[in-house]
A and B are shown apart, each in its own frame.
Chain A
């Protein structure tokens, strides 16, 4: 019996320790690798990131790099996802391994949330300053309120050097230049240590003689009043007066030292400037689309009309950041992440130049292991089995024209 009791006592002590420590182990999530677990339709029908460029592969601490490109806000935005009326251009990195030195949409700095319009294409740029050495996957990322994060493609970037060398100098409007990395740190430690010591001193006064046992005995005997002496009250009042005085004096001295302070800034930014896209000269109609499960390939029958004045060829199909290219038409020289690039993934039944004024029906196949790796094939299990993506046509001069497609998808299991 005693053995069991001891066992329970021990167990409950362990449980107590676990509870106590659990709270201390909370850490803000640093990982950004949700890209594959996000529903395929989310990645295909919300925001399409393209023309991306990571300016560097290796960055020493304190140096900067940029992630630039364009994103198209899909007109066929799914009903189940909140519209991007309140969105935030984020960057998918594991915590502050870089600092975000700047981010822009259409040339406007966007430290706050913005409103995006469906069907528009925007230019963006994120300026990153290297802080913590390591190999980091850097994703473009857009958070949409009530819609969740929409993660773009990620590329590995290496930061070299030592974090202890990192500095973050900022000049305030009051003319001071400070290092935001450790600004105010001494002040924070000092005041927290001071008040902690003050609190301990207050408790120590009461704990200078035995505390719990004699007090419990006296209280049980009904002699509560004998436990607090006039002296005790005086000391207590002393602590309280000192507290009030210190708070008042430091409030004053702080205001004297920092006469100019401003409240935190917040608020939605509207009117983001989209790119003025040239008028579309290529019209595409999706006649049918099938996903062949065993072949990991999507087949589309497209009717393409060229209304422009230069002949065009289909060079690329892009969906959910995976790019399928026809190497005869378009090759990637931007250093796009390998795992998202199917360099020979696009086959077109007849990809000869489509002359101005002509219409042609073509069989297009986009096949690559990425369908499985990036779980795009899960699309066929979605409640609304549609796919969407961008087609890029290249004209004689090498200009690329983007056309969006959005159509039902029929799976084929044989």
Chain B
């Protein structure tokens, strides 16, 4: 068979082959992103995402979007600039959440018996949708970074609040006040994690009084913008075909 000869003979067949490619690529991409993103997230956001008694109004709100926007930015860069596909961020986040849920359900609950209501992952989908749509509509990397990045940071806390609020009900326990999330952390013994490791409500944003979460969210959004740029260029570089030219 000569190289110039097409492998497909009809339009229907071309579509079929193209579809097969889609599934293959989508499947591989999903799991490759999942693997990389999940490892990255465990290393940099680890405990803040593992335990509900770490999910405070300062560091959780600040750290997670900043560390979470990395892979979505890079994958967007590849899918958008090479294919004009506007779901890079959503695909990344769904990959991460899939990996996290498998890990939390089978290891944290199935193997070590921590209740799921103590070890469920954080929600990132709303921010990812906004990131994707801003890129789709504007077609601009700068605008996506600024509006999308800020949105990614700002949507994190409200996007998670419906599942977090019930864990922040106050309890009086043997003469001390704590939230249900604190109580989970106290009840469900983590031998390897003494209480002092927990980084809760620490930081210098105290001057804003009661409204710490919005301030943290804005701060997180601003840093997310910078991180977006950085990882977008990683993605561009990674997705370039400069080194395979001529094939």
Are A202 and B129 in contact (CB-based, < 8 A)?
yes
Chain A residues near B130 (CB-CB < 8 A): 240, 243-244
A39 part of interface (Cβ distance < 8 Å): no
Are A236 and B86 in contact (CB-based, < 8 A)?
yes
Q: Mark B133-144, 1 if CB is under 8 A from A, else 0.
A: 110110100000
Are A192 and B112 in contact (CB-based, < 8 A)?
no
A215 part of interface (Cβ distance < 8 Å): yes
Which of the 9-residue segments B24-32, B62-70, B220-228, B230-238 touches chain A?
A: B24-32
B93 part of interface (Cβ distance < 8 Å): yes
Chain A residues near B169 (CB-CB < 8 A): 172-174, 176, 178, 258, 260-262
| CB-nearest residue of chain B to A88 | B194
Are A228 and B136 in contact (CB-based, < 8 A)?
yes
| Most chain A C-beta atoms within 10 Å of own C-beta, residue among B86, B186, B194 | B194
Which of the 9-residue segments A204-212, A290-298, A329-337, A384-392 touches chain B?
A: A204-212
Residues 149-201 (chain A) with a chain B CB within 8 angstroms: 149, 163, 168, 170-174, 176, 178, 180-185, 187-188, 191-192, 195-196, 198-200
A413 part of interface (Cβ distance < 8 Å): no
Given contacts A96-B114, A132-B113, contact A195 B187 (CB under 8 A): no
Chain A residues near B158 (CB-CB < 8 A): 247-248, 250-251
Are B133 and A20 in contact (CB-based, < 8 A)?
no
B123 part of interface (Cβ distance < 8 Å): yes
A93 CA to B190 CA, complexed, in Å: 9
Are B173 and A23 in contact (CB-based, < 8 A)?
no
Chain A residues near B107 (CB-CB < 8 A): 24-28
A254 CA to B165 CA, complexed, in Å: 7
| Interface residue from A180, A211, A227, A261 paired with B183 (Cβ < 8 Å) | A180
Given contacts A212-B25, A254-B162, contact A203 B87 (CB under 8 A): yes
| CB-nearest residue of chain B to A257 | B165
Are B18 and A210 in contact (CB-based, < 8 A)?
yes
A60 CA to B186 CA, complexed, in Å: 21
Residue pairs across A and B with CB atoms within 8 Å: the count is 321
Which of the 9-residue segments A263-271, A308-316, A350-358 touches chain B?
A: A263-271
Chain B residues near A212 (CB-CB < 8 A): 18, 21-22, 25, 83, 85
CB of A240 to closest CB in B, whole Å = 4
A25 CA to B136 CA, complexed, in Å: 36
| Most chain B C-beta atoms within 10 Å of own C-beta, residue among A88, A170, A265 | A265
Bin the interface of chain B by size. 35 or more
Are A243 and B132 in contact (CB-based, < 8 A)?
no
Majority secondary structure of chain A interface residues (helix, strand, loop or mixed):
mixed
A30 part of interface (Cβ distance < 8 Å): yes
| CB-nearest residue of chain B to A197 | B125
Chain B residues near A163 (CB-CB < 8 A): 113
Are A170 and B83 in contact (CB-based, < 8 A)?
no
Given contacts A95-B112, A180-B183, A203-B91, contact A233 B194 (CB under 8 A): no
Chain B residues near A172 (CB-CB < 8 A): 169-171, 180
| CB-nearest residue of chain A to B166 | A184
Given contacts A174-B170, A180-B183, A199-B128, contact A265 B177 (CB under 8 A): yes
A143 CA to B86 CA, complexed, in Å: 49
Are B181 and A24 in contact (CB-based, < 8 A)?
no
Chain B residues near A20 (CB-CB < 8 A): 31-32, 34-35, 99
Are A96 and B113 in contact (CB-based, < 8 A)?
yes
CB of B99 to closest CB in A, whole Å = 6
Chain A residues near B246 (CB-CB < 8 A): none
Using a CB–CB cutoff of 8 Å, the interface residues on chain B facing chain A are 15, 17-19, 21-22, 25-26, 31-32, 34-35, 38-39, 42, 50, 53, 55-57, 82-87, 90-91, 93-94, 97, 99, 101-103, 106-108, 111-117, 120-121, 123, 125-126, 128-130, 132-134, 136-137, 139, 155, 158-159, 161-163, 165-184, 186-196, 198, 200-201, 212
Q: List 15 A-B contacts (CB under 8 A).
A: A28-B50, A28-B108, A113-B195, A141-B191, A172-B169, A178-B169, A180-B115, A183-B180, A198-B125, A207-B22, A213-B22, A247-B155, A254-B162, A258-B166, A264-B53
The 4 closest A-B pairs by CB, nearest first: A143-B194, A20-B35, A27-B107, A261-B168
Apart from A24-B102, A172-B170, 13 more pairs, CB < 8 Å: A23-B38, A180-B115, A180-B187, A185-B117, A187-B163, A191-B162, A195-B123, A203-B90, A210-B21, A211-B85, A224-B84, A265-B176, A266-B201
